[in-house]
Amino acid sequence: AQSVTQLGSHVSVSEGALVLLRCNYSSSVPPYLFWYVQYPNQGLQLLLKYTSAATLVKGINDFEAEFKKSETSFHLTKPSAHMSDAAEYFCAVRPSGNTPLVFGKGTRLSVIA
Amino acid sequence: DAGVIQSPRHEVTEMGQEVTLRCKPISGHDYLFWYRQTMMRGLELLIYFNNNVPIDDSGMPEDRFSAKMPNASFSTLKIQPSEPRDSAVYFCASSLATGETTEAFFGQGTRLTVV
């Protein structure tokens, strides 16, 4: 079964520093990948999704992710962290068609002033 | 559209009591999903519906859990009897049936505490 692995359950960065959240997928066919963000006491909100149109995907709030087939990765980055980016981030994969999203364990991002 | 609406936002109940969680999906969406989020297990799919019909309930932990979707605008997740280990945040999500890149839209969740 297709799955995603998020490396690091907790990442801490300084305000203004680069954010890098890692996600690797296990798939023998082209995966459909998503990044979601969950702010405290909120539901999940889509940040971006990979549609195969481009390997570099831009999302909301200056986040972007690069699909690398050779590394089976879809890491999430942001050039400069803001305090408001502190949240839980989830990588997800849709195995096929309209099957439900399968989520990684999540990475909690802390931003230090 | 107001998005996916879940009620209540918080529920505290005593062990053994029946609990009913409610969800109103986004109008026009064909799929509805129930997920459970815990620290230990992360986000787990419990059950999902397509056009009000349950498609896969293999994630429902036990017979104590049941879910219904009587119409396109309403779904319930019921736990009877509830146990402390059911304490979690329960999310409802909905999506259109437009293929692999379709995102799911989540409600704000119901935080259930069973004491």
Tens digits of per-residue pLDDT, B57-96?
Answer: 999 988 999 999 999 999 999 999 999 999 999 999 999 9
| Residues forming a β-bridge with B31 | B50, B95
Contact: A94, B109; criterion CB under 8 Å:
no
| pLDDT for position A38 | 96
- Give the residue on A whose Cα is nearest the Cα of B37: A105
Q: What is the pLDDT of residues A18-71, one digit of tens each?
A: 999 999 998 766 678 999 999 998 999 999 999 877 889 999 999 999 999 889
CA distance A109 to chain B (A): 15
Residue type, B88: A
Of the candidates B8, B62, B4, the one whose C-alpha atom is nearest the C-alpha of residue B33 is B4
Q: How far is CA B83 from CA B18, B20, B63, in A?
A: 10, 14, 13
Of the candidates B51, B50, B49, the one whose C-alpha atom is nearest the C-alpha of residue B60 is B49
CA distance B83 to chain A (A): 23
Interface test with B, best of A49, A98, A103, A108 (most B CBs within 10 A): A98
Contact: A94, B42; criterion CB under 8 Å:
no
d(CA A52, CA A56): 9
